[in-house]
A and B are shown apart, each in its own frame.
Chain A
Amino acid sequence: MAHAVLVVSDIAFSDLLSDPYPIYKRLRDMAPAVYVEAARLALVTRFDDIMTIERDCETFASSNPGSLVNKVMGHTMMRKDGEAHAMERRAIEVSFRPGTIKNHWAARFEAISDRLISQIESDGEADLFDALAAPMASLALIELLGLKDVSWQTLARWSQALMDGAGNYSGDPEISARATEAAAGVDAAIDAVLAWHRENPNPAVLSSMVNAEHPMNLEQIRANIKVIIGGGLNEPRDSILSLTLGLLSNPLQRAEVMANPDLWPLAFEEAVRWISPIGMYPRRVTRDVELSGVKLRAGDQIGLCVAAANRDDRRFANPDNFDVFRPKQPHLAFGAGPHFCAGAWVARQLVGRIVVPMLFSRLKNLRLRPDAPARIHGWVFRGPVSLPVAWDL
């Protein structure tokens, strides 16, 4: 017998924000999908269920007529399905190919990382959020997109404003106004460089968009650049910090990774499993369907909690521990299915091969500060919001 979706009303939104993991465990043990009033979504938290959903995008669609993302950013590929999505995705793919990353982006990312670390090297202590992770992610994204004359602070502000707008379920007018202003700023920044990219084909995303076999029109370009700005800045920023935190908190693992640099990619994958930068994303149920014995109805809005799936103890032993040496198996930090993160290989290279290894090799005896503990926050997007560290001069 299939059951209706259970409803939970005793979870406070602030609890989700401060630490969703105990809540995820409770939901995982309760049922395949549970409606959480504070989130206004039926949350799916088990690994296998999310895999099943992501393999069936006809039943579980990304497109959503009422989506706030569409309202704030325009019609982005993130909220399209099938061929419409595939075509736009193919247009940008060349900028994100592993080969393009190795031959083109890696050297640029290295230069940025080197500059930022040089700036703090003689300070002896820093909060890595402001001093490294935020500017690094922002400057890398500016390069990758092909924007010019935009400061890292401006791009970071746009990114935050767009994401706040996309999550503005209560319709706060101030948040809407800031999102609108950011959207206008992005449009102007695109206008300033688009003709140049058309005439000078290069690996940047804007160039790929206009020079693709099926080039995007201006509306598509504007929407998709916004979704990349909204969704491409936090994740490298947060994973730089999570990976650093994971290693600083586990000295034995750190020593092994430092002794054997081939372990960096494993350490990176473990960091994004442990604290997944995108914790939840939505899908829309298009027909009545059963999910592991739970009845979902056409029109239901569900939230896929990949952060919860990545700590599903049916799949990962001692899931709350950061363990670089756990048996290698896939996680869901990059999602799954046709919307699998387009930036996955950029993130792997940028975070796991360039920035964090450089940080550990350049700053001697890098350590956490017992007097100023790291702070981690968020659930839809989660990561350290402060990571104070010290090192020897």
Chain B
Amino acid sequence: MPTITFITAEGKQHAVTAEIGRSVMEIALEKNIPGVVAECNGSAACATCHCYFDPAFAAAIGPIGEHESDMLDFTASPRRPESRLSCQVRVADALDGMTVHIPAVQ
């Protein structure tokens, strides 16, 4: 199983093994990583699962959907090029070693 490292806004690191096929948001909730709220439980409707993804993995993650991109314009913490909704990113082998920064507010 691939390993993903979450880094909280305070800089605390949480390295976790992630089940393939689940969303990164689901992994964060399951492992009790603070800072991922996910109000809509993965419906891409709330923008409270916003995270900053390691740009080196952008290609492996895949492109941003149109709806996801709209939603990212309304995140509580500023949108950056590496912003994604973690509920829309699926864990895959290619994401092994990726870091995910959690924003200060959702």
Contacts and interface: CB of A to CB of B under 8 A. Distances in A.
Contacts of B105: 328
A378 B95 CA distance: 50
Interface in A196-218: none
Contacts, number: 49
- The interface centre, meaning the residue of A99, A328, A334 with most chain B CB atoms within 10 A of its CB, is A99
Given A342-B45, A344-B46, A336 B39 contact: yes
Contact of B41 (A97, A330, A338): A338
B93 interface: no
Contact of B74 (A330, A334, A336, A345): A345
Contacts of A328: 76, 105
Interface string B50-79: 000000000000000011011101101000
Interface of B is mostly: loop
B41 A98 contact: no
Interface residues of A, number: 22
Given A93-B67, A330-B48, A340 B41 contact: yes
A251 interface: no
A25 interface: no
Contacts of B39: 330, 334, 336, 340
A93 B67 CA distance: 9
Interface in B1-59: 29, 37, 39-43, 45-46, 48
Contacts of A98: 70-71, 73-74
A40 interface: no
B41 A337 contact: yes
Interface in A84-100: 86, 89, 93-94, 97-100
Interface string A325-346: 0001010001011101110110
A54 interface: yes
24 contacts: A55-B29, A98-B71, A98-B73, A98-B74, A99-B66, A99-B69, A99-B73, A102-B73, A328-B76, A328-B105, A330-B39, A330-B106, A334-B39, A334-B46, A336-B39, A336-B40, A336-B41, A338-B40, A338-B41, A340-B41, A340-B45, A341-B45, A342-B45, A345-B74
Interface of B: 29, 37, 39-43, 45-46, 48, 66-67, 69-71, 73-74, 76, 105-106
Interface of A: 54-55, 86, 89, 93-94, 97-100, 102, 328, 330, 334, 336-338, 340-342, 344-345
